[in-house]
A and B are shown apart, each in its own frame.
Chain A
Amino acid sequence: QKEVEQNSGPLSVPEGAIASLNCTYSDRGSQSFFWYRQYSGKSPELIMSIYSNGDKEDGRFTAQLNKASQYVSLLIRDSQPSDSATYLCVGNTPLVFGKGTRLSVIA
């Protein structure tokens, strides 16, 4: 069974710090990974996608993929209170969601 595992948190970081979110996945056949952000009671919103080993940067966000270790991470630089949400690590296909890590950025 395909699984994506995340630490549920909460992860608390001060405003301006780097938040580091991690997940592992069980299906070695997974090719694509996504980070979605979900505010309470809202739908998942795509933050980043990553398909190749290594780092991918987009603004304050950096996604990292290590297929050998079956590990995906998301770094959020200069964290803002508006980043406070649950971050969902997702593998393909169809999408397999982790339970999410709750991030709290404290002003």
Chain B
Amino acid sequence: EPEVTQTPSHQVTQMGQEVILRCVPISNHLYFYWYRQILGQKVEFLVSFYNNEISEKSEIFDDQFSVERPDGSNFTLKIRSTKLEDSAMYFCASSERWGLAKNIQYFGAGTRLSVL
């Protein structure tokens, strides 16, 4: 069964360093997303991406964050200068469709980011 894959599963970094989280969405999906979940809190939307551009982003997704689809398979989230509060589980998701109905998103296993 097709799945969304994320690497690495755990990333440890020093405050102020740049990190890149990687995702390979399901191959026939056109819409890609990043979410984060701080330990013990709810899953929060960060950004959606379609046709090589951001389609929607939340207030969390500030100038420190960027996304890219560098090739035909990978979808990346970059955090330029990590802060302690960026420590969270980051989930990538993808879907076939966008819009009001039937936008079923499938999630990867997540990358746990620990900022020290």
Contacts and interface: CB of A to CB of B under 8 A. Distances in A.
Interface residues of B, number: 25
Q: Which of B44, B56, B91, B101 has the most CB of A within 10 A?
A: B101
Interface residues of A, number: 21
Contacts of A98: 42
Given A94-B33, A94-B56, A99 B101 contact: no
> Chain B binding site: helix, strand, loop or mixed by DSSP?
loop
B104 A46 contact: yes
B106 interface: yes
13 contacts: A31-B101, A34-B104, A42-B110, A43-B91, A43-B107, A43-B110, A44-B43, A94-B33, A94-B45, A95-B33, A96-B45, A97-B43, A97-B44
Interface of A: 31-32, 34, 36, 42-46, 49, 51, 88, 92-100
Q: Which 9 residue pairs of A and B lie closest in terms of their CB atoms, listed nearest first?
A: A31-B100, A97-B43, A43-B107, A99-B42, A94-B45, A97-B42, A44-B107, A43-B110, A43-B109
